[in-house]
Structure 1
């Protein structure tokens, strides 16, 4: 992939009143992870999801993925973690003797709680699309397979909002496409996606991917792909909307009702 480096530049925001008091500067120090404390007044216990994340990271820890925990000084020898307790737990489990932390100023419980909220809310969430692009840039084999399949099938993975201009082959169903490639392999996955692209679906929905996958890879492995493409194209968005309505009424998956509609149309055309 080509380099897309860009310099950091100040933002022009005439409608804002910039902060002028920043408080004391943070300082970076190295400490034993087991020396850090967690204040249960405003920090929750570990959830099941947190435990799963910690367990996974224990097996994959690398310094180049390390993000320093944020702590506040509470007396000469006490540091309270306000962000990054998972990292500290992982380091302690791996018996890493010292980790880099950033110490910030927050003298009262109220200030520490507000700092905790700020560190855990004033951030841009990394989306699955961001992660996929990063994996692709890193040369990750699975991401490269997905990219190759999509390119050859004519699919473009992208974020889609209500105001987006949508072209044939666009899809936001990143997780389903990745799962399709991993589960079926590159050639069957390309057949599934190519069928939907040739049917001029815009956007390609998750239900359509699941329906085409089930037909092509399980239920009708010998199906004429041109016939399936034609059926999907004729059914179009109107067929999708009707499938959604019937699926909700009868309590079945949308993809199942959609696959049934496509197959009925093919069977009727063969019967005439």
Structure 2
């Protein structure tokens, strides 16, 4: 094969494996693997010529052409002046950094595995500087990690890493640091809604404080993290997103009444489908006009496993959401309870 034929083969194989949707690095990785597998004995001069052809073709492909950073149209945006100055960058000993448990979760088994993987496959090309802020601890100025504690711990654990670059932002108070943490992690999947809620509470976020107040009034406790194996005590919950959505839709008073039913019924933990089921029963015209909160509490207390099984069967048969099926199961139990009470009264 000549250089042109080799180049065509490389491009064809690359297209098959990436669909021409990968990054330039993806393309380079595939080309290297194809060369190693298909052309182990081909002369380096011929391969070099083939690669020139490949690079020339890719350079004309819009997908792989180097792009300049251009500003977007910002017409109509209400742009605020930045409250803080731009971050500064420093090199520090990672073992000299601190973590504040007020808004940072403890490292569990999963986090430890992640740290060990980072240490084992340390790669400066993949390194992201932790975000830190100055704070006073026991009368001494220290640097707290707002985001990137796994990276910092991995660096401190690595025998060949003595210093790492960090980015330092202005956030002296704990509430500011928590707010900065929320800002850094709102779009990151690995940070849980529970952790963001806790950080928002520390930052005195109004929405988070409202959720906390409504839950306290209803006798519900929002856990900082799920218990081992999902274990929980009556009235505890990790369904922070469901509660936030409920308050946003129904307001504080109705939301408190809905959550109070589940707390009084002793659910452990209180789940999203339970919240949505009670919401339907206490707010829809179909059910709320004849159903009382106390009757619902009495009907659903202590029978969760059986009720869940019945709701699952109904949801499967009718292709309904589980929460809707659960509401129907609980409404039927309330009807049966009312019917029994009425017969007892008539007999008396």
The answer to whether the superposition gives a TM-score over 0.5 is: yes
Q: CA deviation at 1:170?
A: 1.0
> 1:228 is matched with which residue?
296
The secondary structure found in structure 2 opposite 1:259 is helix
* Pair 270,131 (structure 1): closer, same or farther in 2 beyond 3 Å: same
Shift of 1:64: 4.6
Superposed, 1:175-214 pairs within 5 Å as: 175-214=241-280
Pick one of 238, 241, 244 that aligns with 1:172: 238
Matched, 1:251 2:234: no
Task: After TM superposition, give the deviation of residue 251 of structure 1 in Å.
Answer: 1.7
Q: Which has the larger radius of gyration?
A: 2
| Paired residue total | 180
- Structure 2 CA distance for aligned equivalents of residues 210 and 243 of structure 1: 13
Q: Which residue of 1 aligns with 2:205?
A: 140
Q: 1:131 to 1:67 in 2, by over 3 A?
A: farther
Alignment of 1:41 onto 2:24:
yes
CA RMSD of aligned residues (A): 3.4
TM-score of the pair, normalised by structure 1: 0.57
CA distance in structure 2 between the aligned counterparts of 1:144 and 1:154, rounded to whole angstroms: 15
Residue 269 of structure 1 is matched in structure 2 by 337
Structure 1 Cα separation of the partners of residues 199 and 249 of structure 2: 22
Q: Deviations over 1:111-145 (max 9, x none)?
A: xxx5454439x865432112111211222221111
Structure 1: runs of 5+ lacking an equivalent: 1-39, 46-54, 70-113
Query: What's the counterpart of residue 94 of structure 1?
Result: none
Q: Tell me the CA shift for residue 62 of structure 1.
A: 4.2
Q: Which runs of 5+ in 2 are unaligned?
A: 1-22, 27-62, 64-73, 90-122, 130-147, 151-189, 341-348
1:1-150 map, 5 Å: 40-42=23-25, 62=82, 64=84, 114-119=123-128, 125-150=190-215
Runs of 4+ in structure 1 displaced over 4 angstroms?
57-69
Kept after mapping to 1: 8 A contact 2:311/2:322: yes
Post-superposition offset of 1:173 = 0.7
Q: Which structure exhibits the higher relative contact order, with contacts defined as CA atoms closer than 8 Å and separated by 6 or more residues?
A: 1
In the aligned structure 1, how far is the partner of 2:235 from the partner of 2:294? 17
Note the 1:158-169 alignment, pairs <5 A: 158=223, 159-169=225-235
State whether residues 155 and 197 of structure 1, in contact with CA within 8 Å, keep that contact through their aligned partners in structure 2: yes
Question: How far apart, CA to CA, are the structure 1 residues paired with 2:266 and 2:250?
Answer: 23
Q: Secondary structure at the match of 1:252?
A: coil
**Which has the higher mean CA deviation after the structures are superposed, 159-168 or 192-201?**
159-168
In the TM superposition, residue 234 of structure 1 has moved relative to its aligned partner by: 4.6
Distance 1:232 1:116, change over 3 A: farther
Query: Quick one: structure 1 residues 207 and 149, their matched pair in 2 at CA, closer, same or farther if it must change by over 3 Å?
Result: same
TM-score by length of 2: 0.45
C-alpha spacing 1:252/1:115, structure 2 compared with 1 (3 Å) = farther
